[in-house]
Structure 1
Amino acid sequence: MNEKGADRLLALFADARLTPTQRRIAHALIQHAGAAAWLSAAEVADLAGVSQPSVTRFATALGLDGYPALRQLLREAAGPGVTETPGGKPNDVQHAVRHEAANLERLAGDLADAGRLAAAAAPLAGSRPLPVLGLRAAAPLAAYFGFFAAKVLPDVRVLDTGGTLLTDRLEQARAAGATAMLAIVLPRYPREALDALAEARALGLHTVVITDSPVSPAAEPAAHVLTARVGAGLVFDLHTAPMTLAMVLLQAICDAVPEETQRRLEEFESSAARRQVFVP
């Protein structure tokens, strides 16, 4: 996707007040911009699982003259395609990896506003305990974040399984003093994750969400939304940029409580040396 065109699309979608159905259309167009640029309104409707009139109303809700104008915008975003390299055209795997590199480059640009990251980190740094939600595809990212966050925060609770116990654990965290929650919500968005976000808000928790797009269904109920694109070039999604964003957020949490971070890291190193956790 052409970077300038992609930025234009994301800005257009993010600034509009979209209904849940229209958010589904926006997400489908972002995820499949290269193909959608050449589809009819009916084919886009099938792609998003909505009706054809919904696609037409979506285009007008964006302030465009109609679907043809939206399709032209998509074609501009799609760009001219991949050019040949000295070794010939990249294969599908190379293309997927290069797309991940582009996702990281875009993330680096988005992180230019350090104040926005610090604002999201501050409530997480002060929450005792800190619940970290990640279901299905996001569960490994939540576990990875939680593993390292536990080295600098005294009580990190990774919530990586759904069911009725999930609400129990949220209520227990709130009763124990939690004031904020980090949620990692990635495609395909689990209904249980969205329900847990709603429950967290009802409990009075300050919610920070890492997701893939400003039009993600997880973005609307969150106090702070941080986005990193998911790679869709292989059979299963690539989460390189979201994982990087999670660790950048953890760095910002450490920066928010530097003395506690240093003290707990020193305590861990002393304990690890005493127990001979690592091979010399």
Structure 2
Amino acid sequence: MNERAVSGSTERLLGLFEGVRLTPTQRRIAHCLVQHSPTVAYLSAAEVAELAGVSQPSVTRFATALGHDGYPALRRRLRELTVGAPDGPTEVGNELQQAVRTEMDNLGRLAGQLADRSRIAEAGSLLAASRPLPVLGLRAAAPLAAYFAYFAAKVHPDVRVLDTAGSLLTDRVEQAAGAGAGALVAFVLPRYPRETLEALREAREAGLRIVAITDSPVSPATEHADLVLPAAVGTGLVFDLHTAPMTMAMVLLQALCDAAPVDTQRRLEAFEVSAARRQVFVS
């Protein structure tokens, strides 16, 4: 099965989980199904349990949670989604072209998600109202957190980047909460650093609401987040492509600006005056 076909079956599989509140064990099973989407329709409940590292009864309960009578009914549905559904025309090209086309598909799905603007608008309002605004991103997610924070700082008075793990990370989360923060935005991307999930847990305990940009509706981040903004990660090259998460970050920033248009305009104008006085840019 080519990469675009796999992408299509993955998208259809993810649709099974939308609007369903899954337990951590059930998320592991869902993640396993997504990872093995080309062959999952042929797996038995025991094989799924072994792949996911859970018990066979957990797989049965998972099928029931999705509205099926049992795993056999779920497997029939999986075959409809991953085998029987058309994959569309096959694009000719090498692996580099296929990776780029998969990113185009990821952006297309993201555009479809944004037809309903309520969730992104709610997230923007949460972040605009938070003083300060902590932005969490560790390891591979650190550059995205820094990129978002760089622009957010132009329209928000107090943005704090949390990109270093360890005991100091807990300190900074608690300090942000103590200073009055009401929300935290987190970038949580594969391979899901343990420190990131621990920081999200601590942020919840500190009373912060969490907006998570992550790769999937069944990401481990969903256990801790109040609002999940999924954006798929490309896996066609040696290292992941983060085109869709980066785009989601900028969409979220737009929502933040839209939530406080007067303050946004005032801060942007003040920055332009300052930048011109200091001759920051050559053009």
TM-score, normalised via structure 1 length: 0.88
Which runs of 5 or more residues in structure 2 are unaligned? none
Matched, 1:263 2:266: yes
1:44-73 CA distances to partner (integer Å, 9 max, x unpaired)? 445433455544443344333544443443
Residues 233/45 of structure 1: CA separation in 2 closer, same or farther (3 Å cut)? farther
Residues 148/6 of structure 1: CA separation in 2 closer, same or farther (3 Å cut)? same
CA distance in 2, matches of 1:67, 1:94: 37
Matched, 1:36 2:36: no
1:17 Cα deviation after fit: 4.4
State the partner residue of 2:118: 115
CA distance in 2, matches of 1:11, 1:83: 22
Q: 2:63 aligns with which of 37, 48, 59?
A: 59
State the partner residue of 2:17: 13
AA aligned opposite 2:131: R
CA distance in 2, matches of 1:203, 1:138: 22
**Is this contact kept in 2: 1:185–1:193, CA < 8 A?**
yes
Which runs of 5 or more residues in structure 1 are unaligned? none
Residues 18/257 of structure 1: CA separation in 2 closer, same or farther (3 Å cut)? closer
Identical-residue share of aligned pairs (%): 70
**Is this contact kept in 2: 1:2–1:76, CA < 8 A?**
no
Residues 173/47 of structure 1: CA separation in 2 closer, same or farther (3 Å cut)? same
Q: 1:145 aligns with which of 121, 141, 148?
A: 148
AA aligned opposite 2:174: E
Q: 1:168 aligns with which of 160, 168, 171?
A: 171
TM-score, normalised via structure 2 length: 0.88
Residues 265/275 of structure 1: CA separation in 2 closer, same or farther (3 Å cut)? same
Residues 101/203 of structure 1: CA separation in 2 closer, same or farther (3 Å cut)? same
Q: 1:251 aligns with which of 254, 276, 280?
A: 254
- The 5 A counterparts of 1:231-242 are 231-242=234-245
